[in-house]
Structure 1
C-alpha cells in the first residue's frame, strides 16, 4: 500500500485517526503541530502535572483539616444542638442573612469571542479589525487574571513575537514570579524611566559584550526585545510588557528578522493605553470584590462572636477557632490580660491563654505552657500598642531568639475595647501557604476590633450579672430591715393607746397633737371607720404590719416624715366625711387615695427633686429627673406591699388589684408640684375646675391634702412652715458642700424673708387651688378662709 492510499484511508476513517493520535502521540509531536499552526508549545508537561497534583493535594488537605476541626469542635460541645448554636449563623437566620449580604452586582466573566488561531487569521486578513477585536477582548472583561493573560496573548499576536510577558508593578517595584526573570535588569530600567526600550539583534549582541551576566541568556533565548511600560490613571507605571524575538512573516522560515520596528513600538504603545484602562477597571472591581468579601466575612464574624455574651471562655475559644479558619493558619492564641495598668513589658501579666487545641475555658498562663515564650511578643505588642508581624525572612529576629516553637510567620495585635483599654493580645501563627499579606492585615485589624468589643461586652455582662446579684442580695437585706416581724406587730396590738377620736375627723385637726403610736393607731381606726378592712376582706394583722412597715420606712427628717404622712391621710379622711366630693368617689377610689396619702413621701431624704438632679444622685439616674422622688415613693410602697405578710390588697380580684395600684401611682405622682402646675392650666380656669371628672378630682384632692398645713390654725401653720424651712436649710448645707448653686427660696441667709416666701406660696399655689375646690363644694370655703387668715398673719409679720 502506497502513501497515497494510506492518506485516503485515514481521511475516510477520522475516528480511528483521532483515537490513535490520543493513544500514541508524544509531547514532541504535539509541540510540532502547535508550532506549525502558530500556537505556543507545551514546555514542561511534568511540571504541569505536578502543579495539578499539588492543587488537588492542598484542596484535600484543607478539607481534611476542616473536618478534623469540626470533629474536635463537636466533641467539645457535646451535642449536635449545642454545636449548631455555636456556628456563625443559626439555621433560621442563615438563609436570610446570606440573602441580604449577597452582592447583586454581576461582574462580567472573562471570555474571548475568538480563539488564538482565529485572531492570527484575522490579523493576516485585516489588521484594523484585528486591533479593534483585541481592544474589545479586554474592554468587556473585568477579571484581572483573565485580562493579564489576554494582553500577553494579544500582544504576542500583534507584534508577531515568540513570547510576550506582562509583569505587574506595585509602588514602583517590579513583581517577578517564579517563571519570569528580568534579564539584565532592563524591565526595572523601563519602569524607572517610564519609557519604552527597544533592542534589535545587533544591539543585543553589543549588550552581551558589555554585560557578561546576560551573554548566555541572550545567546540561548533572546535575539531582540521590546519593553513597554503601562501607565495608570495618575501616570504611574502599573505594569510592563516584554516582547521577545520578533518572527518573520514567512511561516515556513524559522529565521528571525531584524527585530521590532518603530511601527511595532507605536502599535504596542497604542494598545498599552487600552490595556491601562482595562487593568485599572479590573483592579477597581477587584478591590470592590475584596472589600465586599471582607465586609461579608466581618458581618458573619460579628454575628457569630456577639452570639456568645455570657461565658468569656466560650467566646475566646470561638475567637481562636474562627481566626484559624479565616486566616488559614496553623494556630491562633488569645492572651487575656491580668492587669492593664502595667508600665513596662516586664510588669504586663497574662492570666490565661486560649488556643485552638486548648480547653474551652483556657489555660493558666505559666512557663509550663508550650506557647509561654510567645507571650513575650504579645507583651511587646501590648506595651507599644502596635502590631508585630514576623515572616520567614525574619527568623533571626531578636524577638524569636528564645522561642522554641517553630515559627514561619507570625502576626500579633493588641485587643482594645471602645475606650482603648487593653484587654489582651491575639496572635496568628504560621500561615499555611505563604505569609500574611496586606489583605490579611486589613481583615485582622477589623477582626481584632470586633474581638475587643465582644470581649468587653462579655466582661460587662459578667459585671452586670454580679451587680444584679448584689442588688438582689441588697433587696433581701432591705426587705428584712424594712418589714415588720410578727412579734413587733403583736407587741403594738397589745398596747393601750388612747386619743381624741372626735378631733380626728375634723378639717381643723391639730397636726402636732398626737404621738407616733397614736397616729398609727388612729390610721388603723380610720380604715375601720371607712369600712375598708371589712369591705375588702383585709386581715387585721396584715393591716397592722403594713402600717408599721410604712412608719418604719419614713426617715427622721424635719418635715417630710411619718407625721406629715399621717396629717395628709387624716385630711383626706376629713374631706371624705365633711364634703360632698367624697360621695362621688367609689370605695376603691377612696382606698387608693388613703393608701397613697400614707405612702406618698415614704423614704423621703429631706431634699427636693432639683437637688437630686443637680447632684446626679442615684435616684435621679434610676428614675430620671421628672418626679424623681414621687416615683421612688411609689416604688417603696410597692416593695412593702410585695413583702410577705404586708399586702393589704391580697384578697382583691386581679382587676381591682391592678386598678387600685394604678390609682395609687397617679395619686402619689400628683404630689409633684411641677406636674401639678403644668396640669392645673388644663383643669382650672378663672378659679373654676373645667373638667370635674373623678381622675381630675383625685389628683386635685391629693395635692390639696399634701399642702393642707396652710389650711390649719395659725400656730400649726407657723410651726409647719418653720419645719419646712429647717429641712431646706439642711439641703442648702449639702448644696454648699457639693458646690451646687442654692435656690433663693431655701437659702438660710434669707430666712428673715420667710413671710414673703409664704405669701408667694399662698398666692401662687394654695389659694387658687382651694378657691377652685370651693366652686365645686361650698364646704371648702372654710379652708379658703383659713388660708386667707394665715396670709394676713404672714403679712402682719412683714409690716
Structure 2
C-alpha cells in the first residue's frame, strides 16, 4: 500500500509541475511583452517618439494587426493629431465620434465605407474577418482625452483589451512626464541659459537620456545606470540604493557604487541607523547619525575601497502610486571634500521623479521571476526527494545536498529525532566527523565540565547520537525555532571542540527544524558557512522554511514506507515460520498416499445415520474418514483431485487447528461429517450445483482454522492483532479463518481447487469465503427472516439468492450439529463450550473488563443459558431446515429432546446450589447425579474432544 501511495503522490507532483511549467511559460511571455512596452514608453522625449513607441507596442501585444493610427494630444494646439495620416486631425464623426463621446472602447466588425475610420486606416473595404477598435486614452483623473488608438485586426480577445488598458495607463504616465519636461524647459529658457556648470542646474537632456537608457530587464544593471548618473551629478565618490522589502521589513542592497554584490545584503529596517527615514520620509546627513550609525555605514561600504566616510546624504525615494518609501538613495564623500547641499538633494529627487516607476516595476518583475525560479527549484527538489522514499539513507543524503545547493552552504548536518531515547541521531554525515577515539581524547583534555561532549556517542561508526536538549541542534529540536547564527564562536550554544578535532572552521550556522503534517518535529538540519556571503540571510531562512516542508513530508513517508516494508518482511517471515511448523509428518503423508481410501462404512457401520456422533471416531481415523467422505461424495473424480494433494490438504487443515476445549480439529471434523450426512440423507446435491457443494464441504473443514478460544467481541475489546486487521470489515475471526485457509491452499501441493477451470475456480473461492463468513451467528440472525420466507414460498433452484441462503443455512446447521446428537454428546459438548467460555471470562477479568454473563463462571446458570440457546437459535434453525428439506425432521426432534432434558435438569439444579461460586461445578453435579434414567439415552462409546 505504501508503494501505491508513493506512486500516487509522485503522479500528483508531476501533474503540478507540468501545470506550473505551462503557467510560467505564458506568464513569462506576458511579463516580457509589457516590460518591453513600458521600456519603450519610458525613453521617449517627444510626441513623435511616443507615437512610434505606441504603434510598436500595439503590434507587439495584439497579433494579426492590419493597420493602426495613433492620434495624440498636441500640447500646444490641444488637438488630437496624427502626423503623416491622410486625416492628420482626428475626425469628429462616425465610429471615432462615438468612442470620443462615450469615453470608452468601441469595436465594430464592419464599419460602412463612408465612415472616416476606413479612410484613416486606409481600408478600401472592411473585410468580414477584420474588426476596427477605437480605444480612447484618458489622463489619470479621467477628465482629459490624451489619445485615440485606431486598430484594424482579426478576432480581438479579452486579453487584447486588457493589454490595451494597461498600455493606456502607461501612455497617461508618459504624457505627464512629457508635460513636466516641457514646463521645466520653458522655465529654464525664461530664467537662465539652458546649460550651466553649477551642480544645482538640472540637465534635462541628461535625465531624458537616462530614462531612454533604462531599458534593462535586469534590476542590478538598471540600478548601475542610475548610480552612475547620481555619482556624476552630485560629484560623489560612491552611491548605493537601499531597496525596501515590505513583506519582510528589510533593507536589501544589490550594488555598492559600481560593484555588483555576489549575494545581496539584507538587514532589518528597525535595526538600521537609517530605518527612521522610511517613516519620517526626511533626508539624513552624516551629521545626523551617532557613532554607532556611522560605524554601520562604514561596514556597509567595505566592499568598495572608499576609505573613511567624510560626508553622506540619504534621500528617501517615494512611490508615485502608493506613496510609500521604496528605496533610500545614499551618496558618500562629496569630491573636493565638500558637503552635500540642497542642490544635490534636488538632483537626486529629480532623478527619481522620472526613474522610480521604471525601477520599482523592474524590481517587481525581478521578484516575480525569482519567485518563479524558487517554485521551479522547489518542484525539482520535491521530485528529487520523492524519488528516494524507498531508502532513508539515500533520502537523507539527497536532503543534505539540496539544502547546501539551495542556501549556498559549505556543510550540512541532518539529525533525526529519537523520541524514545530523547536523542538526535545522525546516520549520514557531510564532511569530516570525529570518531569515538577522537571524542574520548577531547573529553580527557577538556575535563568533566564539558557535559555536551561527554554525551556525544558514535554508534558502530554508522550513527552519531547527541542528547535532544543540548547544543544548537538540540535547542532547535526542543523549541521548534530557526536559529540564524552570524558568528558561531560567539554563540553560547556552539561547541568549538569538534572544530579543533576535525580542523574544520565554522563561521556561521543556519539551523532549522523539520516537521511533519502535524507540526511535530521529526528532524533538524544544520547548515554551516555561507559560501557567497558573510552569513545566512533572512531570505535563506525563508527558503529553509519552505524546504523543510518537503523534507518533513518525504522523511515521514520514507520512514512509514520503511515500517511497511519491515512489516511485510516480518509478515512474510512469520508466514514462512508458520507454514514450516505446520509441516505435516512426511511418513504419515506417504502412508496415507499409499494406502487405499477405506470404504466409509468400514470406519463405522452407522456413519451415515443422523444420530451417529463422529466424536466416537479415534483421532488417527479422522483423516481416513475425511478422505472416505470426499470419495463417497464423488468429489475426487468430479474435480480431478490428486490423492497426494488431497492428503496434504487435509493434514495441513488438521495441523492448522489449535487445541482450545471446543473449537479444535474434532469440531471441524464433526461439522464436515454433518455436511456429509446432509448429502447422504437429504440429497442436497440436487439443490446445489457441484461447485457449491464442493465449496460447502471444504468450508466445513476450514471454517474455524486457528481459532484461539475467544469470540469476536473479545478480539475487538482487547484490540488484538486480528481486530486491527479485520475489525473495520466485521466478523473478525471468520475473516481470519478464511485467510488461514487461503494460506493452506496457496501452499505448494495443497490446492485442491487447482484443476478447476477459471470460471469454476473463481466461483469456488467466492463461495468458500461467503460460506465461512456465514458461520458468524450475527450473519445468520440477520438472514432468519429471508430464510423463513424461502421456507414458506419454497426453494427456487433458478434463483441465485435462494442458492446463497441455502448454502448459509446448511453451513450454520453443520456448525451447530453437536446439538442434534444424543444427550451424552450434548452434555459433553456443553462442558467443552463452557470450559472455553469461562477461560475467556477469566482472561477478561484479568484485563479489567466485565465479561458477559455466559462467560462468567461466578454468574452463569448453565441450564438457563442452554435452554435459551436451543430455543432461540438451534430449534428455529432446524425447524427451517425441516421445512425446506423433508427427511430432516428427526434432527429437529433431537434438538427438542435435548431442550426438554435441560429443562428437567434446571428444575433439579435449583435444589442443588453451586458451591464456591463456580458454575463449572454444575457438570460434576451432573456426573454424580443418581438419577441416571434422566440423562442416559443409551449412547455408547467414548466422546472425544
Is 1:319 the counterpart of 2:399? The answer is yes
Is 1:718 the counterpart of 2:644? The answer is no
1:405 corresponds to which residue?
504
Normalized against structure 2, the TM-score is what?
0.58
Over 3 Å counting, the alpha-carbon distance change for 1:309 and 1:136 in structure 2 is farther
Over 3 Å counting, the alpha-carbon distance change for 1:516 and 1:174 in structure 2 is closer
Please give the secondary structure, in 1, of the residue aligned with 2:699.
helix
On the 8 A contact 1:572/1:594 being kept in 2, the answer is yes
Q: Which has the larger share of helix?
A: 1
Aligned equivalents of 1:791 and 1:454: distance in 2? 64
1:678 corresponds to which residue?
782
On the 8 A contact 1:148/1:166 being kept in 2, the answer is no
Aligned equivalents of 2:288 and 2:675: distance in 1? 119
1:49 corresponds to which residue?
none
Distance apart, 1:616 and its partner CA: 1.0
Over 3 Å counting, the alpha-carbon distance change for 1:112 and 1:527 in structure 2 is closer
On the 8 A contact 2:393/2:428 being kept in 1, the answer is no
**Matched length:** 660
Q: Determine which of 592, 607, 626 is the counterpart of 2:710.
A: 607
Q: How does 1:15-414 map to 2 (within 5 A)?
A: 96=18, 99=21, 102=24, 105=27, 106-107=30-31, 108-109=34-35, 111-115=38-42, 118=45, 132-133=173-174, 145=219, 167-169=242-244, 178-179=256-257, 188=274, 191=277, 194-196=280-282, 227=315, 230=318, 239-240=327-328, 293-329=373-409, 331-335=410-414, 350-354=426-430, 367=438, 380-385=471-476, 386-391=481-486, 399=494, 403=499, 404-407=503-506, 409-414=508-513
Q: Alignment RMSD, CA only?
A: 5.5
On the 8 A contact 2:393/2:427 being kept in 1, the answer is no
Unmatched segments (≥5 aa) in structure 2: 1-9, 51-73, 79-138, 140-145, 147-170, 179-210, 259-271, 298-305, 333-340, 444-452, 457-463, 908-945
1:548 corresponds to which residue?
651
Aligned equivalents of 1:325 and 1:720: distance in 2? 75
Please give the secondary structure, in 1, of the residue aligned with 2:604.
coil
Q: Determine which of 570, 574, 577 is the counterpart of 1:470.
A: 570
Q: Determine which of 730, 749, 752 is the counterpart of 1:648.
A: 752
On the 8 A contact 1:316/1:354 being kept in 2, the answer is no
Deviations along 1:610-638, one digit per CA (max 9) or x if unpaired, are: 11111111112223341221121122222
Aligned equivalents of 2:814 and 2:177: distance in 1? 92
Unmatched segments (≥5 aa) in structure 1: 1-87, 181-185, 245-257
2:881 corresponds to which residue?
773
1:663 corresponds to which residue?
767
Deviations along 1:475-529, one digit per CA (max 9) or x if unpaired, are: 2222122121321334668899997633211122225422222333322222221
On the 8 A contact 2:317/2:327 being kept in 1, the answer is yes
Distance apart, 1:134 and its partner CA: 7.2
Aligned equivalents of 2:848 and 2:287: distance in 1? 93
Distance apart, 1:642 and its partner CA: 3.0
Please give the secondary structure, in 1, of the residue aligned with 2:529.
strand
On the 8 A contact 1:579/1:777 being kept in 2, the answer is yes
Over 3 Å counting, the alpha-carbon distance change for 1:136 and 1:306 in structure 2 is farther
Over 3 Å counting, the alpha-carbon distance change for 1:711 and 1:616 in structure 2 is same
Aligned equivalents of 2:11 and 2:767: distance in 1? 48
On the 8 A contact 1:602/1:633 being kept in 2, the answer is yes
Aligned equivalents of 2:417 and 2:287: distance in 1? 70
Over 3 Å counting, the alpha-carbon distance change for 1:485 and 1:643 in structure 2 is farther
Aligned equivalents of 1:728 and 1:735: distance in 2? 11
2:207 corresponds to which residue?
none
On the 8 A contact 1:732/1:747 being kept in 2, the answer is yes
On the 8 A contact 1:168/1:175 being kept in 2, the answer is yes
Over 3 Å counting, the alpha-carbon distance change for 1:768 and 1:334 in structure 2 is same
Deviations along 1:659-718, one digit per CA (max 9) or x if unpaired, are: 333322222111112222334444443853676632332122111111222333333333
Q: Determine which of 509, 514, 531 is the counterpart of 2:612.
A: 509
Aligned equivalents of 2:176 and 2:746: distance in 1? 84
1:577 corresponds to which residue?
680
Over 3 Å counting, the alpha-carbon distance change for 1:621 and 1:95 in structure 2 is closer
Aligned equivalents of 2:532 and 2:313: distance in 1? 39
Is 1:429 the counterpart of 2:529? The answer is yes
Aligned equivalents of 1:667 and 1:198: distance in 2? 91
Please give the secondary structure, in 1, of the residue aligned with 2:530.
strand
Deviations along 1:331-372, one digit per CA (max 9) or x if unpaired, are: 3433456966666xxx866454135xx9xxx9978859xxx9
Deviations along 1:26-78, one digit per CA (max 9) or x if unpaired, are: xxxxxxxxxxxxxxxxxxxxxxxxxxxxxxxxxxxxxxxxxxxxxxxxxxxxx
Please give the secondary structure, in 1, of the residue aligned with 2:892.
helix
1:709 corresponds to which residue?
818
Please give the secondary structure, in 2, of the residue aligned with 1:715.
helix
1:634 corresponds to which residue?
738
Normalized against structure 1, the TM-score is what?
0.67
On the 8 A contact 2:507/2:528 being kept in 1, the answer is no
Please give the secondary structure, in 1, of the residue aligned with 2:708.
coil
Over 3 Å counting, the alpha-carbon distance change for 1:582 and 1:653 in structure 2 is closer
2:900 corresponds to which residue?
792
Please give the secondary structure, in 1, of the residue aligned with 2:398.
helix
On the 8 A contact 2:407/2:530 being kept in 1, the answer is no
Aligned equivalents of 2:735 and 2:176: distance in 1? 77
Aligned equivalents of 1:172 and 1:666: distance in 2? 68
On the 8 A contact 1:89/1:304 being kept in 2, the answer is no
On the 8 A contact 1:89/1:303 being kept in 2, the answer is no
Over 3 Å counting, the alpha-carbon distance change for 1:540 and 1:125 in structure 2 is closer
Over 3 Å counting, the alpha-carbon distance change for 1:427 and 1:405 in structure 2 is same
On the 8 A contact 2:661/2:833 being kept in 1, the answer is yes
On the 8 A contact 2:317/2:356 being kept in 1, the answer is no
2:808 corresponds to which residue?
699
Please give the secondary structure, in 2, of the residue aligned with 1:693.
helix
On the 8 A contact 1:533/1:539 being kept in 2, the answer is yes
Is 1:488 the counterpart of 2:588? The answer is yes
2:165 corresponds to which residue?
none
Distance apart, 1:396 and its partner CA: 5.7
Aligned equivalents of 2:747 and 2:250: distance in 1? 79
On the 8 A contact 1:568/1:598 being kept in 2, the answer is yes
Aligned equivalents of 1:481 and 1:206: distance in 2? 90
Over 3 Å counting, the alpha-carbon distance change for 1:617 and 1:119 in structure 2 is farther
1:740 corresponds to which residue?
849
Please give the secondary structure, in 2, of the residue aligned with 1:411.
strand
Over 3 Å counting, the alpha-carbon distance change for 1:91 and 1:165 in structure 2 is closer
Over 3 Å counting, the alpha-carbon distance change for 1:720 and 1:234 in structure 2 is farther
Is 1:566 the counterpart of 2:669? The answer is yes
